[in-house]
Amino acid sequence: MISTNPKKPDKLQGNPIYDLPFYGAFATTLASILLHFLAFCSPYWLESYPDTKNPFLKLGLWSVCFDKFVHPKDNFGIEWTGCYWIFDWNLWNKGIWEWIDPPWLIAVQAMCGLAFICHCVSLLCSLFHFLIIGTRSAESAICCGTQGVACVFLCISVIVFGVKVEDRDWMPRPDHNHLSWSYAFAVLSCFFSAISCVFLYMVYKNDKEDDNRQDGQSGFAYLQPGAQPPAMSAAGSVYAAGAARGQGQHTMSLHSGYSQGAAGGGGGYRSGAY
């Protein structure tokens, strides 16, 4: 007799359906989030060449470093030396922030932040999938979707940043600067996210086929002779008992009404006969 509760296959027992796609997806997801974290936090997206003696030293998404830098439009000629948070009040008060953080850079910061959130969600769902917690097909679909969104956001961010660093209205003498390793990590994170999407789509297809196969086996098992129905939950048992009791009361009321009607009809017949 076919079991009415088929056991889910264990990913840890060398099942070929899950091994390569899932572990490939998990490895590329982990690599993408680590590279994204380093790019997100480090101040080396744009850096000046050491031999140019450029007062601008380096810039990241959240910080900027100067060495005796004087803004061309600063009438007071204030020199800026050291590293500053890009939203520092001094930069805001002196009008430097509007130049150092234009709207396109704000958009890059926002997209990188959203992509990092998507990476975290994808990694969390991958852990749930690995531990077989919840619905596997739904978890793999969420992982694939969040990785795809993160890949799109990162791709747009690196393209916009790579184009805009050559804008002389933003950074004077762009030929003295070059894209540095933080930017390269962002590009690699986007690349690994794309590979992870491919693996996760394969995992999702396998999970969906496995769910359909289990549903088919469960439905076929109920048709076998001697097959027991699945166990009912406590709430379902209470509902079934209440429904059965209500149906019994309804049947009894119908039977009583019929009996009374029959008795009344018989008496009328007898009185008419006499």
**What CATH number is associated with residue 196?**
1.20.140.150
- Report yes or no: 151 and 194 within 8 Å, Cβ to Cβ: yes
Tell me how many domains the chain contains.
1
Model pLDDT for residues 142-170, shown as the tens digit of each residue: 889 999 999 999 999 999 999 999 888 88
Q: How far is CA 160 from the centre of its chain?
A: 24
Is position 115 within any domain? yes
Domain that holds residue 128: 16-50+101-210
Per-residue pLDDT of the chain (274 residues; tens, 9 = 90+): 444 444 444 444 445 445 688 888 889 999 999 999 999 999 999 999 988 888 889 999 999 999 888 877 677 778 888 899 988 888 777 777 888 889 999 999 999 999 999 999 988 888 887 776 667 778 888 889 999 999 999 999 999 999 999 888 888 788 899 999 999 999 999 999 999 999 989 888 887 777 676 655 554 444 455 545 544 444 344 444 454 555 555 444 444 444 444 444 444 434 444 3
Q: pTM of the full predicted structure?
A: 0.68
How high does pLDDT run on average in the chain? 76
* 10 domain-assigned: no
Query: 64, exposed or middle or buried, with CB in 10 Å at 0-12, 13-18, 19+?
Result: buried
H helices present in 174-223, as ranges = 181-221
84: enclosing H helix or E strand: strand 79-85
